[in-house]
Amino acid sequence: MIKVTGDGSITTCDGITRRDFLQVGTLGALGLSLSDFAALKAGGAVAQGNDERSVIMIFNLGAPSQLDTFDLKPDAPSEIRGPFKPMRTKSPDIEISEMFPLHAKVADKFSLVRSCYHTAAAVHDTGHQMMQTGRLFTGGINSPHAGCALTYLRGRRSELPAHVILPEPMGPTGGNMPHGQDAGFLGKAQDPFVLNADPSKADFKVPDLLPPAEIGEARLRRRRELRNIVDETVKNFEHSETAKLMDSNFAAAYRLMTSEKAREAFELSREPQKLRERYGMTRFGQCCLLARRLIEAGVRFVTINTFITVFDEITWDIHGSKPFTSIAGMKEIVAPMYDLGYSALIEDLYDRGLLENTLVCNLAEFGRTPKINPAGGRDHWPQCWTVYFAGGGVKGGRVVGKSDEIGAYPVERPVRPADVAATIYRSLGLDLETHLPGPNGRPFPLVDYGTQPIMELF
């Protein structure tokens, strides 16, 4: 029971006041900052489209080499084709790298798009922006992540967040620019819930979903900055208009924080150990399993960052020289955990009857240079690369688009990042003519005029 104790004050049955609630920083953790309550009060847009559909976006930060993964050129010269051989798959139309034997077994359920490209700078950050929002950020306008646009348009299905990022947001990748993993101009009320934890760890917990009494010193330290801000401003805040709005929304925020359903959705210990091992006891593998649990529990959109940065770990960013890895290193370190986690996710979703209503899209910011560099790696190449889709109405076993004989440029059905975003919205059943409330109160189109989804997938 929640009781109102007077103007600007509220207390729960646990004796927790609104001030206590703020001081542990929980509202900020839930994407419900103080300045956002007016937006919450006003609410989002009218729900539209196929409300049964959900999305899991796997973002392959670092950018896999198209020539060594899903668009091999076995007849090209050795300095182009690389060391891997193509492998036949369960789909007669798809051949992929021998690095992915488990992908081969589920190739009838996903379809490749081998003709993705963009014309912006060949830096990670710009590709992150465009592939997750459909736009390059210009003029100080940050477009919302597709999952945040969905949050605005449809809201939550339950007390669980509408959009969750696993395991944490993208970190530095060299450009010192936004990556496009928040709500941008839609405001923080539409921001994703961020896990900020490694689900493969034995002591994995989600501090942001624990009651304040159980948060502990580590959680308090992590939110010290927000707590200090609240301490300095709370006296004036108590008498503000925002406080009055907060009183009417506090109960919903507190219910989310203490939701048994939310905590259960994040409890991987409820899964059989054999299934956890099928996904792989890696950070990526357990994120894939957690994504399935969240979708099953009602979350609309889950973004999985395969890696967090290109600097502190071996990723798809295969420049060859240290601290990066070579093409051969990709096979030994990156490919096995990725192959295991993705194939388990697709099989698990299919076996549970969830795949038809769950779009799983595997994206990256660009491709890699056709010619192998002197260090035994490949460098940035936004002129052509491969992305792929499964579920969510997509027909599996297909190849859309085609690159030239060395995998350098599209020669059939070129696909832009904006088209990829439109494809996600198409799967969700959203009207592409929809407008969002943009900067300065002006309507902002969900997708730019002329943008088309990749209809060959459906």
CA dist., res. 53 & res. 423, Å (int): 13
Give the predicted TM-score (pTM) of the model.
Answer: 0.84
Q: For tokens 């209503």, name the residue.
A: 357
| Angstrom distance (rounded) from CA 283 to CA 306 | 8
| 49-58, 177-186, 255-264, 272-281: least confidently modelled range | 255-264
Report angle CA 413, 417, 419 to the nearest 5 degrees: 55
Q: In whole angstroms, what is the distance from residue 424 CA to residue 427 CA?
A: 5
Spacing of C-alpha 349 from chain mean position:
17
Mean pLDDT of the chain: 86
Which range has the worst mean pLDDT, 45-54, 158-167, 360-369, 377-386? 45-54
DSSP state of 141: B
pLDDT given for residue 261 in this prediction: 87
pLDDT of residue 440: 85
Amino acid at 107: A
Least confident interval from 40-54, 225-239, 308-322, 388-402: 225-239
Torsion 56-345-156-196 (CA) sign: negative
Strands (E), 41-132: 54-59, 86-88, 95-97, 110-116
Strand 380-381 to 163-166 pairing: unpaired
To the nearest 10°, the Cα dihedral for 46, 263, 208, 130?
Answer: -50
pLDDT in tens, 319-341: 999 889 999 889 999 999 999 99
What pLDDT shows up at residue 312?
85
pLDDT at 147 > cutoff 70:
yes
Whether 44 has a pLDDT exceeding 80, the answer reads no
Instruction: Delineate the domains of the chain, giving CATH numbers in brackets.
Output: 1-30+212-257 (no CATH), 50-205+260-457 (3.40.720.10)
Q: Which residues pair with 303 in a beta bridge?
A: 57, 165
Burial class (CB in 10 A: 0-12, 13-18, 19+), 225: exposed
What is the reported pLDDT for 218?
A: 54
How confident is the model at residue 138, as a pLDDT?
Answer: 94
Angle formed by the axes of helices 417-428 and 146-154, nearest 10°: 30
Is the per-residue pLDDT at 71 higher than 90?
Answer: yes
Q: Give pLDDT tens digits for 229-281.
A: 555 555 555 555 454 444 434 544 555 566 888 889 999 999 999 999 999 99
Predicted confidence (pLDDT) per residue in 193-213, tens digit: 999 999 999 999 886 665 555
CA 324 from centroid of its chain's CA atoms: 24
Q: How many angstroms separate the CA atoms of 93 and 402, rounded?
A: 13
pLDDT at 456: 98
Question: What is the mean pLDDT of the segment spanning 165-191?
Answer: 96
Dihedral angle at the C-alpha atoms of 32, 38, 40, 42, nearest 10 degrees? -170
If you write DSSP's letter for every residue of 192-250 in order, what string do you get? PEE--S-TTSTT---GGGS-GGGSHHHHHHHTHHHHHHHHHHHHHHTTSHHHHHHHHHH
pLDDT score of 216 more than 80? no
Q: What is the pLDDT of residues 403-432, one digit of tens each?
A: 999 999 999 999 999 999 999 999 999 999
> What is the chain's Cα-based Rg?
22
The arithmetic mean of pLDDT across residues 295-319, rounded, is: 96
**Does residue 34 have a pLDDT over 50?**
no
Type of residue found at 305: N
Calpha distance 241→246 (Å, rounded): 9
Q: What pLDDT does residue 15 have?
A: 45
**What pLDDT is stored for residue 4 in this prediction?**
33
